[in-house]
Chain A
Amino acid sequence: MMEVGTELPPLTVTLRREDLVRYAGASGDFNPIHWSDRMAAALGLPGVIAHGMLTMASAVRVVTDWLDDPADLVEYGVRFTKPVVVPDDDKGANVTFSAKVDKVADGLAEIDITAVAGEEKVLGRARAVVRVR
């Protein structure tokens, strides 16, 4: 099961403007670049962008959905390489997450996560370390 090369079931998440507003409320991060086109444009962004922490939260679901117990996650890190632009329409932005076991040693497995929106990778060096039972 927890073998090097194992691919975890991928996950596609659709982020709409409403989801950003909900995340802003739940997390307390009300930075207007996550809900105001005007403020995003003023800062030179291509549009309203998703909270990096929302993308990060979505990405790790590939791993925690696969584990019997999400408490087995011991380490998780990402780099935010490209913003996820979320248009104000019904379609929103799709981000697809996939993951693969890269290393298993000493009771721990290291899992590489890939996050793609459109054609672009939006996270770099996304990696989770989990306890192997």
Chain B
Amino acid sequence: MTIDATMVGRSYAAAESYQVGREKIREFADAIGDRNPAYRGDDAIAPPTFAFMVGSRALEELLNDEELGLRLDRIVHGAQKFSYTRPIKAGDTISATATITTVRKAGPVEVIMYETTLTTADGEPIATATSTLSHNRADA
């Protein structure tokens, strides 16, 4: 099982939506050492990179696709980008879908780009995350 360019366009929806709670936002902000008051309280918005954690539920589904044959311990995160329509807020229920956009091979290394869209349950856009992973099939 391996990944190749024919797999561009495959899409993986997170099995469950993500319910954003203010205490999770606070915990995350504390973990990144960010004291910004915008990330506290009932009207809290989430720090920008919180979006990656929400999107990672869709990534899990991508990694579970046995036809791709990806192993987490062979993956290096090469690049990450976010575009925000609006910040994630406490009280949001978010659906995440990851779509493979590019597959490039260089020997045993596969460079995979995928785009994760975060939307509300009604389909309103919140943010898009673009990730680049390097997957090395050579034996360590």
A contacts, CB < 8 Å to B: 13, 19, 22-23, 25-29, 31, 42-44, 52-54, 56-58, 60-61, 64-65, 69-71, 73-80, 125
Which one, B3-11, B25-33, B105-113, is touching chain A? B25-33
Residues of A within 8 A of B101 (CB): none
Residues of A within 8 A of B81 (CB): 75-78
Residues of B within 8 A of A52 (CB): 77, 80
Decide: A57 near B82, CB < 8 A? Known: A43-B73, A69-B38: no
Most chain A CB within a 10 A radius of its CB, from B31, B76, B83, B140: B31
Which one, B43-51, B90-98, B117-125, is touching chain A? B43-51
The count of residues in chain B whose C-beta lies closer than 8 Å to any C-beta of chain A is 33
CA distance A90 to B49 in the complex (A): 27
Contact of A28 among B36, B49, B53, B130 (CB under 8 A): B53
**Chain A to chain B: the 8 pairs with minimum beta-carbon distance, closest first:** A77-B81, A26-B31, A57-B32, A57-B49, A79-B79, A71-B87, A23-B31, A22-B31
The 22 sampled A-B contact pairs (Cβ below 8 Å) are A19-B33, A23-B31, A43-B73, A44-B140, A52-B77, A57-B49, A58-B33, A60-B48, A61-B34, A61-B36, A64-B38, A64-B47, A69-B38, A70-B87, A71-B38, A71-B86, A76-B81, A76-B84, A77-B79, A77-B82, A78-B79, A78-B80
* Interface of B, helix, strand, loop or mixed by DSSP: mixed
B contacts, CB < 8 Å to A: 27-28, 30-34, 36, 38-39, 45, 47-49, 52-53, 56, 72-73, 76-84, 86-87, 130, 132, 140
Which residue of chain A has its CB nearest to the CB of B31?
A26
- Knowing that A43-B73, A74-B84, A75-B82 touch, tell me 10 more A-B residue pairs with CB under 8 angstroms: A57-B34, A58-B32, A61-B33, A61-B36, A64-B48, A71-B38, A77-B80, A77-B82, A78-B81, A79-B132
CA distance A54 to B81 in the complex (A): 14
Contact of B49 among A43, A60, A65 (CB under 8 A): A60
Which residue of chain B has its CB nearest to the CB of A25?
B31
CA distance A26 to B34 in the complex (A): 13
CA distance A131 to B17 in the complex (A): 29
Shortest distance in angstroms between A9's beta carbon and chain B's nearest beta carbon? Answer: 14
CA distance A13 to B34 in the complex (A): 10
Shortest distance in angstroms between A64's beta carbon and chain B's nearest beta carbon? Answer: 6
